């Protein structure tokens, strides 16, 4: 029960923007020495596992997004249009900026748009 309380307290501190640290005085009074406790190590491992799970989900969603984006590019170019729609891309950047903040949102959206903007796959030949 005590471990659960400590883990909960560490989670609350981290989510509130505080950091969990155990400092030991250093022989040099100008520096403190950070030491990790088993509870901290366990907490970090659990959080990294959660991050790994989220990364798997995000990668899967990005793959789906890429496939849909390529189908839109293909439809647009087959109809004589451009693969890129600047108004649509600006809308996408705005969505990411609102969710993640201006700098991070713009950078992530732009990276994704550029990565998926590559040449759309060839349209399959119609079956006879």
Specify the CATH number for the domain of residue 109: 1.20.59.10
| Residue carrying structure tokens 């060839």 | 122
Higher pLDDT, 5 or 33: 33
Q: What is the pLDDT of residues 70-107, one digit of tens each?
A: 999 999 999 999 989 999 999 999 999 999 999 999 99
Residue 49 has which token pair? Answer: 């596992």
Is residue 48's pLDDT more than 70?
yes
Residue 51 has which token pair? Answer: 């991050």
Is residue 56's pLDDT more than 90?
yes
Assigned domain for 31 exists: no
Q: What is the pLDDT of residues 109-122, one digit of tens each?
A: 999 999 998 655 55
Assigned domain for 76 exists: yes
Assigned domain for 18 exists: no
Assigned domain for 32 exists: no
Assigned domain for 126 exists: no
Side-chain-side CA neighbours of 91 within 13 Å: the count stands at 5
Averaged confidence pLDDT in the chain: 78
The total number of structural domains that make up the chain: 1
How far lies 94's CA from each of 48, 88, 107, 109, in Å? Answer: 29, 10, 11, 9
User: What whole-number distance in Å separates Cα of residue 91 and Cα of residue 85?
Assistant: 10
Amino acid 31: pLDDT: 57
Assigned domain for 99 exists: yes
User: What whole-number distance in Å separates Cα of residue 101 and Cα of residue 44?
Assistant: 25
Q: Domain range for residue 75?
A: 39-120
Confidence of residue 47 (pLDDT cuts 50, 70, 90): very high
Side-chain-side CA neighbours of 11 within 13 Å: the count stands at 11
Assigned domain for 114 exists: yes
Is residue 15's pLDDT more than 60?
no
């Amino acid at each position: 029960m005590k471990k659960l309380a400590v883990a909960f307290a560490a989670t609350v501190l981290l989510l509130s923007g505080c950091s969990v640290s155990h400092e030991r005085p250093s022989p040099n009074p100008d520096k403190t020495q950070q030491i990790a406790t088993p509870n901290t190590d366990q907490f970090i491992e659990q959080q990294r596992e959660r991050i790994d799970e989220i990364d798997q989900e995000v990668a899967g969603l990005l793959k789906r997004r890429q496939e849909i984006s390529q189908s839109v590019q293909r439809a647009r170019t087959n109809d004589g249009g451009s693969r890129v729609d600047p108004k649509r891309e600006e809308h996408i950047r705005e969505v990411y900026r609102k969710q993640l903040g201006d700098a991070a949102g713009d950078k992530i959206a732009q990276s994704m748009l550029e990565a998926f903007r590559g040449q759309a796959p060839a349209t399959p030949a119609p079956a006879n």
